Amino acid sequence: MGVEIERKFLVCGDRWRKLAKGTEYRQGYLPSSDLTVVRIRKMGQAAVLTIKGRTTGVTRQEYEYTIPKADADEMLNTLCRQPLIEKTRYQVQHEGTLWEIDEFEGDNRGLIVAEVELEREDQTISLPDWIGREVSDDSRYFNVNLASNPYKNWKS
């Protein structure tokens, strides 16, 4: 069984940028049940279909499969709910841990979130100085929810 254990944080400042290399992402979500999320994602020249279960704490089931890029384009354009999620994902190593930083565009412009995948929920990690408030428990920051309630619509 595939499992994802992930914590999310807001990002403070730009100090992380000099350490990062980015890849453009475009992703959308197929209509699904309350039990699952089905995502189509293009990142650079690759494309995947991902099925995620319900989140409990910071853990959920996750299954991911490579799909043809042309199929991903067609599904994103015709089957996925709009608007799509557009972002650049940067990867930064910090004290042996890989951080993924998503800088959103489109309807979510202005939002920058860092994620770290863990081997277990109680794993201790060192937080970089550019990490802000943790938002792992705030479902507004889940990409699937950003697609239906974009950051531009949030009240300060």
pLDDT digits (tens, 9 = 90+) for 10-35: 999 899 998 788 999 999 999 887 88
Residue range of the domain that includes 61: 3-153
Number of domains in the chain: 1
* Direct distance between the N- and C-terminal alpha carbons of the chain, in angstroms, rounded to an integer: 39
The pTM of the full predicted model, rounded to 2 decimals, is 0.91
Domain of 70, CATH number, reads: 2.40.320.10
Annotated catalytic residue: which of 29, 90, 141, 151?
Answer: 29
29 is catalytic: yes
Rounded CA-CA distance 8/53 in Å is 17
pLDDT one-digit tens code per residue, 20-75: 889 999 999 998 878 899 999 999 999 999 999 988 889 999 999 999 999 999 99
Unique residue bearing structure tokens 């069984």: 1
